[in-house]
Amino acid sequence: MKHNRQLVFLCSGSDCKGAGAKSIKKELKSELKSGSLKGRCKLIETKCLDMCKSAPVGIVENFFCKKTTSSQFINEIKKALNVQG
């Protein structure tokens, strides 16, 4: 079955959680509920991606977002989806 939503991955391993993945998840979830990404993207939490030195780590469109922040990560998703704002 074809999926119309962009899949994004966020590591939820302990190092990434300690480095801010929890707040990235929280902000992304609120963007997915009511922001411009609503219905356009699906967050999948992963186990450790074995890149802990670059924590927090996410993946958008086959690219790693290393040492990312919530605004950087959300901007990368918006770029991938051609969403403004």
DSSP letter string over 12-61?
-SHHHIIIIIHHHHHHHHHHHHHSTTTTTEEEEEES--S-GGG-S-EEET
Binding mask 15-54 for ligand FES (x = CB under 6 A): xx-------------------------------xxxxx--
Specify the stretch interacting with ligand FES by CB under 6 A; choose among 10-18, 25-33, 37-45, 76-84: 10-18
Q: Does 58 bind ligand FES (CB under 6 A)?
A: no
Task: Tell me how many residues contact ligand FES (CB under 6 A).
Answer: 12
Two tokens, residue 11: 């590591």
